[in-house]
Structure 1
Amino acid sequence: MNSGEARGDLTITAITCVKDEGPFLLEWIAYHRLIGVTDFLIYSNDCSDGTVGLLDALAAKGGLTHLPNPAKGRNYQMEALKHAKESGLVAGSDWVWIADVDEFLNIHVGDHTIPALIAACGEAQAISVNFQFFANDGIEEFEDRPVIAQFSRSHNPDIWCGETAIEVKTLVRKDFPLKYYGAHRPFARGNARPTWADGSGRAVPHRFLVAANPRRIRRFPARGAREFATLNHYALRSLDSYIVKNDRGDVNRENRAFDDRYWRERNDPAWRDDSIRRMLPRLEAMLAEMKSDPEIGALHAQAVARHRARCAELMTQPAYQKMRAQLLGAPMLPPQEEELLRDLGIVA
């Protein structure tokens, strides 16, 4: 098989956990179907925006399994992944992809599908792809159109917040000697040493492979690691959506100030990368087809309306008004870089 030549007979299951992601579900599912995901296992918990109804309707159409999150405590993702490991769907899949709904695998090789990435990486039993955090791009209002069409600015792909080691998410092959799934990477049994590639098909660093260093369990240097793929992470989206995302944050706790650090760390617009937009024509066509189903279209519209209504409701509260103003005025420079410039006497 030539490098980048896709295999069309692979079964690939994507696993994710969601809470109030209703307006963004169709795009994420459509995009991942386009790049080769054959099945979805989606866990939801405590949703109030129509996510559950939309997922149930999609599950009835086939190719998607929706389950309530089995977590008994607050460790939602890890308990869901433990449950997923025992699932017949996951056990029977050739590959497993674990990611969040704001993460899009941007494949640069072959026909831009997961099978093409797998082919390019040879005999890897796992492929870990580095994050690239996409900024808000100054977009304040939520729009019901593809996220990948709206945001194109990010940090330098090789450096994030002064760090050269950047987090990853991982494709896992069926024969990986799995002990358990982590949110960012699998962990191998005993002294097993699986064949493990980065997003350029190179062997991952040894200390990452063996999880020898707690700081390197879920990250490694990104330089040179993006030849075949990047993981586009749209953690901020529009300011409206970020306000809704923070609905359960510290602003609701008396005498605690809102910390804009998370926003600032991910709102670095130094780099432009719109390579993922090559997928837009096919994505928009698939979204139109999905929304043409009367039930799916209505449930999506309902989730969008609830998202907008929740933002409007939050913006009547002084704490969220203050948050919005703080984010609008926040420097577009990560705190770590600002601190370095201050130490060097470049900024006051």
Structure 2
Amino acid sequence: MRITAVTCVKNEGPFLLEWIAYNRLIGVTDFLFYSNDCSDGTDALLDALAARGSVTHLPNPAKGRAYQMEALKDCAHQPVVQQADWLWIADVDEFLNIHVGDHSIPALIAACAEPQAISLNFQFFANGGVEAFEDRPVIEQFTHSHNPDVWCGETAIEVKTLTRRDFPLGYYGAHRPFLRKNTPAEARPRWCDGSGRAVPHRFLVAANPRRIRKFPARGARALATLNHYALRALDSYLVKTDRGDVNRENRAFDDTYWRERNDPAWEDRSIQRMLPALHDALAQLKADPEIARLHADCVARHLARRDALLADPAYQQMRAQLQAAAPLPPQEDAMLQRLGLA
């Protein structure tokens, strides 16, 4: 089974090897990376991996806007996607945590009885008070999240989607594929959640604009969930705010983004079952001297950028603001205020 992972990156160098190694362990066979405007060595590391046949690396085709959507339009024309049996579109801070069989994507597909798409709900992992960047696996460092059934007062939680080659595709979205226009009812795909249940009908046909990329997570995680490490260490978060993201150029993240994703109510170490194999896989990648050197260069540049930012009073203030931020998400804090309990 050929499974291709597609992702967009900008200044994700320190985290690339872990993400590649982990996804290989769960069954990904091919990788398509789109990069743009990297200043931390991400592109050099991807070029070296591409030269060894490990990944395909392309410049993002977007011109100053809509980086992810332009890349997803382009990916449909790339051989590494066209030849895949399944496509996994995800970001480098997202790890598919599979609870069945050998914890692989093929095992998940089999457990779901061979559907044409599987949408997995996010589980946002908190910073957990980790301030300093460490060059070790993210999945090892962060173990607390919101209640996986409820996020910021909502039961509907965003998803990412595995898509089979024969899906009646209109176009790929970052969170889910969209059906070909005028797809008749009898040709609609069998599409399930992380428990193998049919996704809600209105989600499948994209009938509700406010819910086209999410549905209730309660009961939807029996077979798999999607661990999202959006914050990581405080050092890395500061670098992330400086970077912006792959969708919107020069976007800054304020403390609302941080507080929404920094809810530590739930402990979940289930993904750490993969750590022994992950450590071995990382050691194998770094056994190549050039790959090890380029990874170390990415780490050094990441830390140098942190140091440069912290010389700026505005970033010093931002760091202090995040350190002092309330532990509750803004919506829960507001509810307690209304009830007079805060």
Give the structure 2 partner of residue 104 of structure 1: 95
TM-score by length of 2: 0.95
Pair 1:159-2:154 in alignment: no
Selected match of 2:82 from 91, 99, 102: 91
Moved more, 180-189 or 116-125: 116-125
Give the structure 2 partner of residue 345 of structure 1: 340
Give the structure 1 partner of residue 61 of structure 2: 70
Distance between the aligned counterparts of 2:214 and 2:100, measured in 1?
22
Distance between the aligned counterparts of 2:64 and 2:167, measured in 1?
29
Give the structure 2 partner of residue 230 of structure 1: 225
Letter in 1 for 2:31: F
Selected match of 2:310 from 310, 315, 323: 315
| Aligned partners of 2:241 and 2:253 also within 8 Å | no
TM-score by length of 1: 0.94
Deviation at 1:258, TM superposition (A): 7.5
| Aligned partners of 1:258 and 1:323 also within 8 Å | no
Correspondences of 1:321-340 after superposition (within 5 Å)? 321-340=316-335
Selected match of 1:39 from 24, 30, 45: 30
In structure 2, the CA distance between the partners of 1:70 and 1:236, relative to structure 1 (3 Å rule), is: same
Correspondences of 1:128-147 after superposition (within 5 Å)? 128-147=119-138
| Aligned partners of 1:139 and 1:238 also within 8 Å | yes
Selected match of 1:173 from 158, 164, 172: 164
Distance between the aligned counterparts of 1:26 and 1:258, measured in 2?
25
Which ranges of 4 or more aligned residues in structure 1 deviate by more than 3 Å? none
Distance between the aligned counterparts of 1:123 and 1:34, measured in 2?
20
Deviation at 1:73, TM superposition (A): 3.4
Deviation at 1:35, TM superposition (A): 0.3
Gaps of 5+ in 1: 1-9, 250-256
Pair 1:245-2:240 in alignment: yes
Distance between the aligned counterparts of 1:92 and 1:285, measured in 2?
29
Gaps of 5+ in 2: 245-251
Deviation at 1:259, TM superposition (A): 2.9
Pair 1:16-2:11 in alignment: no
Selected match of 1:58 from 25, 39, 49: 49
Give the structure 2 partner of residue 272 of structure 1: 267
Give the structure 1 partner of residue 255 of structure 2: 260
Selected match of 2:289 from 290, 294, 305: 294
Pair 1:282-2:242 in alignment: no
Aligned length: 331
SS in 2 for 1:13: strand
Deviation at 1:248, TM superposition (A): 4.5
| Aligned partners of 1:38 and 1:63 also within 8 Å | no
In structure 2, the CA distance between the partners of 1:152 and 1:68, relative to structure 1 (3 Å rule), is: same
Give the structure 2 partner of residue 116 of structure 1: 107
Deviations 1:7-62 (A, max 9, x none): xxx10000000000000000000000000000000000000000011000011111
Distance between the aligned counterparts of 1:36 and 1:259, measured in 2?
36
Distance between the aligned counterparts of 1:56 and 1:304, measured in 2?
17
Distance between the aligned counterparts of 2:295 and 2:337, measured in 1?
47
Pair 1:212-2:246 in alignment: no
Deviation at 1:111, TM superposition (A): 0.3
Distance between the aligned counterparts of 1:104 and 1:232, measured in 2?
5
Distance between the aligned counterparts of 1:107 and 1:259, measured in 2?
32
Deviation at 1:63, TM superposition (A): 3.3
Distance between the aligned counterparts of 2:80 and 2:253, measured in 1?
41
Deviations 1:253-305 (A, max 9, x none): xxxx9831000000000000000000000000010111110000000000000
Distance between the aligned counterparts of 1:172 and 1:38, measured in 2?
15
